[in-house]
Amino acid sequence: METPVVNADSARRELDREYSPSSLVDDLGVHLTRYGTDSAYAQSSLTVHRDLSCGPLPEQRFDLFPADGEGAPLVVFVHGGYWQELSKDEAAFAARDFVAAGVSFAALAYGLAPRYPMREITAMVSASLHHIRAGLRHLPGAPGAVHLAGHSAGAHLVACALESLGSEVASATLISGVYDLEPLRHTYVNDALGMDADEARDVSPLSRPSAPLPELVVARGENETGAFAGQHDRWVAHARAGGAVVTDLVVAGRHHFDLPFDLGDPETELGAEVLRLVLRRPG
């Protein structure tokens, strides 16, 4: 019996599609535009401290939207964009919801590929989050407990940071993340990242034993590709195997790009779970 011949180009196209969340979205531009417009509205309508330093590199900056009073919990959000697009200027869309709930919000910047390789990006974000956590009392509003959140590439970067920061933060919310980067080496995404096998392994949270983790919300939209659904399921199992308490959410009717808008909205499934953790409300 002859062995079936696998068409390499066809296999590559299929893997590219699986790791292209926009392949399931007809109106991607609408959502990307809304990230910017909602963030601009938050910047113009709330008290904001722009471009606070959280490290020696020029990209290590964040925008802080303090809630009223002192000691409010702080959510630090890490944006997506496959480690090569977007910025903190499009990452403040949830600020109004959090501030309205009495929660301070920070949108974190970081250096992007191809200027920075993945090892440096993950190290930079981890260092920035450590800096913010260590200097809370010096920030406007002197925030209290720190909670992390990240979307897509940002979820991956938060998961990497939790390896060293997990016991120092109160919770983390990971939305539509990628936690094993080896498959991405074989897709269009790696054209800018330039990872080899060693680097992909080194920056993959799923390649290492689970460190002590805070309570997690791990969420994805119902309408995600099989690759993103599989990454989600593997990370939930990995975190639980390490002893973490995990709320596993697959949100009906949502996809990769619109789910983040629910992050701080108490009227949504995701927002209600996040605020339960951040405000320690009874379940």
Which pLDDT tens digit goes with each residue over 155-174? 999 999 999 998 899 999 99
pLDDT classification of 209: cutoffs 50, 70, 90: confident
Q: What is the pLDDT of residue 262?
A: 98
CB atoms within 10 A of CB 31: 17
Kindly compute the dihedral angle of the four CA atoms of residues 253, 254, 258, 260, in this order, to the nearest 10 degrees. 130
Which candidate, 201, 169, 156, places its Cα nearest to that of 182?
Answer: 201
Kindly tell me if the per-residue pLDDT of 8 is higher than 90.
no
CA angle 282, 262, 218 (to 5 degrees): 65
Query: Which CATH code is given to the segment(s) 8-279?
Result: 3.40.50.1820
What mean pLDDT do residues 176-201 have?
97
Kindly tell me if the per-residue pLDDT of 201 is higher than 60.
yes
Burial category of 22 from C-beta neighbours within 10 Å (exposed 0-12, middle 13-18, buried 19 and up): middle
Cis peptide before 114 (omega within 30 of 0): yes
Structure confidence by residue, pLDDT tens digits, 58-106 = 999 999 999 999 999 999 999 999 999 999 999 999 999 999 999 999 9
Kindly tell me if the per-residue pLDDT of 12 is higher than 60.
yes
Sorted by sequence, the CB contacts under 8 Å of residue 88 that are 6+ apart come out as 61, 62, 63, 79, 107, 108, 109
What gap in Å lies between CA 32 and CA 75, rounded to an integer? 22
pLDDT classification of 282: cutoffs 50, 70, 90: very low
